Structure 1
Amino acid sequence: MHSVNGDPATPPGGLAPMLLEVLALCGYGLWMLLGLALALGIYSPGRGDALVPLALGCVFVSAGLIAACLRLRTLSEWHGWQIGRVQRPTREALLALATYLPMLALAGLVRGTEDFWTTRVLSLVLALCSLICLITSAYGYRTRRLADQAGVAAQLPISRVLSACYGGGLWLWVCLIFQADLPASSEESLPWAISLLLLAMLLGLVDGVGWHSLRGSSLGERWQRPPQGLQSWRFLAAALICAIPCLSLLLVPVLPPAGRWLTPFAAAAYIVGKSLELWLYDFALTRFALAHPLEASSGLSRTSR
C-alpha cells in the first residue's frame, strides 16, 4: 500500500493513537453540538454552564496535539503534521488550529445575555469549524492510509461526523445532567436520550457498511477467512459503543437520582469501544493489504491474547 506521493503508507497504529483520535472526535462533537445549541438559543439558561463543555472539548481535542508535541512513539503526527520534524503544518493541521480561535472567543462571551448576537455568530462559526475539521481529518486519513483503496472507506467522512455527534452528545449529556441538575425523570432529558439512540442506530448502520465494503474490496479477496478473534473483538466494540450507552440512557429516567452516574460510564464506554473498533478497522485495512492472510491471522491472535 502506498501514499499519494508513492511513499509507503503509514504502518498500522496501536490502540493509543486510536484513543487520541476518538477523544478528538468527542471534543469536536462537543463543540459542534454546543455551538448549534448556543446559536439556536436552546442551551441551558445559565450561559456560564457552557464553559464546562467548552473546556472539556478543549481537553479532548488538545490531547493528540500535546502527545505530538511531546513526540511520543504512540503518536508521531497530528493531522498529518510531524511537529518538530516538519516546520510547516499541513492544511488539515492549520484548520484544526484555527478552530481554537472561535472557541476561545466564545469562552469569553458565553456569559453574556442570550440575545447577544456576537455570541450566536461565534457559536455558529465554532460549529462549522468543528464540522470542517471532522471532514478534512477523515479525508486526510484516507490520503495517508488508503490512497490505493480509497473506495473502501467512502463512508468514512459520514462515519466520523456521526461518531463525533454521538460521542460529543454523550459527554454533553453528562454536562447537562450534572450542571443543570436536571431530574433524571425530567421531560427535558427525553429529547436528548431519543436523539442519542437514533445517532447510535445510524452510526451502527454506517459502520456496518464500512465493514461490508471492506469484505467486497480487493482486500477482502485476500481475506477469505477472518482471523481468529476478530469477530469477538468486533462484538465487544459494538457492545461498548451502542449497547452499554443505550442501556444507560434508558435506565437514567428509571433510577433517579443515582441514575445520573450512568451517563459518564456510558460516555467512557463509548470511547473505549470506538477506539477498539477503529484499531480493528485500521488493522484490517493496512495489515491485510501488506501481509499474507495467515500471517495477519497469527498477528491478531497474538494481540487478542
Structure 2
Amino acid sequence: MLLEVLALCGYGLWMLLGLALALGIYSAGRGDALVPLALGCVFVSAGLLAACLRLRVMPEWHGWRIGAAHRPTREALLALATYLPMLGLAGLVRGDEAFWATRLLSMALMFCSLSCLVTSAYGYRTRRLACQAGVAMQLPVSRVLSAWYGGGLWLWVCVIFQANLTGDAVEPWPWAIGLLLMAMLLGLVDGLGWQSLREPSLGQYRQRAYGLQSRRFLAAVLIWAVPCLSLLLVPVFPAGRWLSLGAASACVVGKSLELWLYDFALTRFALSQSAAQEER
C-alpha cells in the first residue's frame, strides 16, 4: 500500500504541475519544475522497480507481472506512456516556459496522469472487486482526489523549499486554502466509501466493518489533522518549511494505513459473500 500511495502522490504531483505549467502560473525560474518532475518520477517508479525486482511486496505492476510470459496490460502500457510527456517536459522546462511545446506537453502530462489514475482504479475493481463493484463505486473519484491532495502537499514542499533556497517570497495562504478544500472533498468521498460498508443489507459484516472504521482514527489524524494543522502553522514559524515536509510524509503514512484497512474490509466482505453463496 505504501508503494501505491507513493504512485498516487507522483501522478498527482505531475497533474498539478502540468496544470500550473499549462496555465503559466508556475514559477518562472529556469528549471524550477525539474524538482517536482523528478520527485514525481521517483514516486511513480518505486512500484515499477519493485515489480522488476520481483519483490513480494509488489508482485505485479498495474496488473502486469514483469518477467512472466504475459503481455503488458492496457493499464501498464498507459502508465509507461505517461513517462513520455514527462521526459519531454523535463527537456523543455529549462527554456521559455511560454513556448507552445511546453504548454502542449504539460497538458499531455496532466491528462495522461489523470487517465492512468482512473484506469488503475477501475483495474483494481476488476481484479479484486468484480462481484461487489457497487460497494466501491467511489473508488476512482477517491483515487483522483487522493492524488490531488497528496501530490499538492508534495508540490507545496517543492515550492517552499525552492523559495527558501532562492530567497523568493511565497504566499502561503492560497496554497493552504486550496489544500484544505481538497482535504475536505477527500474526507467526504472516503467517508461515503466506508459508509457503504455499513449498509444494513451487508448483515453480519456490518459489525466487522464498524470495528475497522473505529481503527481509522490514527489514519485520519495522519491524513487530515497533521497536514491541515501544519498548513496553518507554516507562515507562523521561521522554519515552517520543515512542517510542510512532515505534513506530506504524514499523509503518505496515513493514507497507506487507510488503504490497507479498506482493502482488508473489502476482502473480508468478499469472503463473507462467497461463504453465504456456498451455504445457499
Tell me the TM-score range normalised by the shorter chain.
over 0.9
- Cα gap change, 1:182/1:70 in structure 2, threshold over 3 Å: closer, same or farther? closer
TM-score normalised according to structure 1 size: 0.85
**Aligned with 1:203 (options 186, 195, 217):** 186
Contact 1:176 1:182 in 2 (8 A): no
**Aligned with 2:37 (options 38, 54, 59):** 54
SS at match of 2:208: coil
Matches within 5 A, 1:146-165: 146-165=129-148
**Aligned with 2:108 (options 122, 125, 150):** 125
In the other structure, the counterpart of 2:258 is 277
Contact 1:222 1:288 in 2 (8 A): no
**Alignment identity in percent?**
78
User: 1:254, CA displacement in angstroms?
Assistant: 1.2
Give per-residue Cα distances to partners, 1:114-136, cap 9 Å, x unaligned. Answer: 22110010001000000000000
In the other structure, the counterpart of 1:138 is 121
In the other structure, the counterpart of 1:10 is none
Unaligned runs of 5+ in 2: 274-280
In the other structure, the counterpart of 2:26 is 43
**Aligned with 2:217 (options 214, 235, 254):** 235
User: 1:214, CA displacement in angstroms?
Assistant: 1.8
1:264 aligns with 2:215: no
Aligned equivalents of 1:93 and 1:114: distance in 2?
30
**Aligned with 1:80 (options 39, 42, 63):** 63
Amino acid at match of 1:230: L
Aligned equivalents of 1:132 and 1:59: distance in 2?
19
Unaligned runs of 5+ in 1: 1-17, 293-305
User: 1:225, CA displacement in angstroms?
Assistant: 2.0
Amino acid at match of 2:244: T
Amino acid at match of 2:217: F
In the other structure, the counterpart of 2:278 is none
1:169 aligns with 2:169: no
Give per-residue Cα distances to partners, 1:198-242, cap 9 Å, x unaligned. Answer: 000000000000011122275x32314237963442011011000
Aligned equivalents of 2:165 and 2:152: distance in 1?
16
Aligned equivalents of 1:237 and 1:160: distance in 2?
16
